[in-house]
Chains A and B, each alone.
Chain A
């Protein structure tokens, strides 16, 4: 069965610092996609970044980048130059076995302070 694990329930960081959120998953599939979603206090779910498993290169979106280790089944999110607006809950997500929906991790609450 597909599983997604986020082992850090909460993290805190100062503005301008760098923080890494961890995610591990389990699958027997070879080709798949991985996602990080952000849920700020407004509760809107927003896609942060997407990684294709067959690509060696780690995905990057401005201050957000991933460290994708396929063999280790690890998919961490690095946020550089943290901003107050990055305060949110971050979810790692992965397709279910049928590819019909996403399985979400339990989330990591990130607090950025000044």
Chain B
């Protein structure tokens, strides 16, 4: 059984379009994340979310918005796509421990490679 799944795995689209990437975890975790991996393989947090709060990395443009219909899902919506948004986007999840979500192993989805033309 897949622990953290993302759809689609590949997404090719035109500049200016709006797109969504879906993420689901079946691990019963309470915290989910979106990371962006750029062309140099640098991984950077975009959002972290549990059922109490959303924490946004201040460097993320407001064209990006996470939406969580329930604890098992955290989708990523991107408006007005730009060339610089091309990257691999990873969803991840974990359990809070000691009040900190970064103490436990994070389980990653397979990634979505977004290409903006």
Contacts and interface: CB of A to CB of B under 8 A. Distances in A.
Contacts of A47: 105-106
A45 B107 CA distance: 8
Contacts of B55: 98, 100-101
Interface residues on B, range: 20 to 34
A53 B99 CA distance: 16
A20 B72 CA distance: 37
A100 B100 contact: yes
Interface residues of A, number: 24
B48 A106 contact: no
Interface stretch (B12-20, B37-45, B76-84): B37-45
Interface in B74-115: 88, 90, 92, 99-103, 105-106, 108, 110-111
A47 B4 CA distance: 14
Interface of A: 32-33, 35, 39, 42-47, 50, 89, 91, 95-96, 98-104, 106-107
28 contacts: A32-B103, A33-B102, A39-B41, A43-B110, A43-B111, A44-B110, A45-B92, A45-B108, A45-B111, A46-B108, A47-B105, A47-B106, A50-B105, A96-B45, A98-B55, A99-B100, A99-B101, A99-B103, A100-B55, A100-B101, A100-B102, A101-B48, A101-B101, A102-B45, A102-B102, A106-B42, A107-B41, A107-B42
